[in-house]
Amino acid sequence: MLENILLVVSILLIAIVLLQSNKASDSGQIITGGNESLFQNTKERGIELLISRITLFLGIVFFIISFVLFVR
């Protein structure tokens, strides 16, 4: 039963991570000197904040279920 829940959580976690905004491409512009706003402190708002919180929740659930399965 827990294995099935872990499988569903894993698939949801992969999907939600793919939905996040791509900040890695912005960091690649450090070398070329572009994107002066890279180190500015920007807050996530709206849907980005929701996606970040869902990612955090699914990550915590994933590790808890994995730990329970490992100990069992």
Q: Examine the pLDDT at 1 and tell me if it is beyond 60.
A: yes
The C-alpha R_g of the chain, in whole angstroms, comes to 17
The tally of domains found in the chain comes to 1
pLDDT value at residue 61 = 97
pLDDT value at residue 66 = 97
pLDDT value at residue 70 = 95
Q: Which domain range does residue 11 map to?
A: 1-19+44-72
3 belongs to a structural domain: yes
Tens of pLDDT along 18-70?
Answer: 988 766 555 555 566 555 555 666 677 888 889 999 999 999 999 999 999 99
Q: Is the dihedral of CA 61, 13, 20, 47 positive or negative?
A: negative
What is the C-alpha to C-alpha distance for residues 39 and 57, in angstroms, rounded to an integer? 26
Evaluate whether 12 touches 65 at the Cβ level (below 8 Å): no
25 belongs to a structural domain: no
34 belongs to a structural domain: no
63 belongs to a structural domain: yes
